[in-house]
Amino acid sequence: MVASVEKQLSLPVSKRAARSGGRILVIDDDHSVLFALKRIFKSPNIVADTCDSLESAKYCLDHNRYQLVLTDLDFCKNVHDAGIEICAYVKSTQPNVKVILWTGSTRCEELDRKAEAVKVDFLFQKPLSPQIIKNIIDELLKYPLNIGLRLDKHGAPYHSAAALRQ
């Protein structure tokens, strides 16, 4: 299984990644989302790796250095809240990496507690327009500052779980 994962990934780190503005990892089980995000981030300044399973995400994290990880909450059918698990894994292996968790879930208060417990930097609610996602990630890659941003599905900032439900 690892051999098939390795074939899917751009390992070792390419020269393009070394001179780029950032390397990001996008994790989602929806292949159309991965395809769309890969196209959004296609640029000489960003290298985007994509994964659709917990195993391949951990493999990528073990073999690459990222500036940012964007993960869906429920990308793995066999693992409840796999996105939370991967966020915790990122923070334990690459603590300076910004982690974005996105979800279509409405479990706001519970999700807020879990996200804070694993030090998620940013929480987005789906759907979010591709242009908003690109703008946010472009800005995040420019600035090392962690501001703990939370956005609702319209791209508006919110500061509590209650605001996400509106």
Going from the N-terminus, what domains does the chain have, and what CATH number goes with each? 2-165 (3.40.50.2300)
pLDDT reading at 149 higher than 90 = no
| Mean pLDDT, range 156-165, rounded to an integer | 42
Q: What whole-number percentage of the chain has pLDDT above 90?
A: 26
pLDDT value, residue 66: 92
pLDDT value, residue 64: 93
Rounded to 5 degrees, φ, ψ at 158 are -140, 160
Q: Could you tell me where the DSSP H helices lie in 41-160?
A: 54-63, 82-93, 108-117, 130-142
Q: Which residue has the higher pLDDT, 109 or 99?
A: 99
Q: Which residue has the higher pLDDT, 25 or 117?
A: 25
pLDDT value, residue 163: 39
Q: In a 3-state reduction of DSSP, which class is residue 50?
A: strand
pLDDT value, residue 65: 92
pLDDT reading at 105 higher than 90 = no
pLDDT digits (tens, 9 = 90+) for 54-90: 999 999 999 999 999 999 988 888 888 888 999 999 9
Q: Measured between alpha carbons, how far is 151 from 146 in angstroms, rounded to an integer?
A: 14
Average pLDDT, the chain: 74
Q: Measured between alpha carbons, how far is 127 from 2 in angstroms, rounded to an integer?
A: 32
Least confident of 10-19, 42-51, 60-69: 10-19
pLDDT digits (tens, 9 = 90+) for 132-146: 888 877 777 776 544
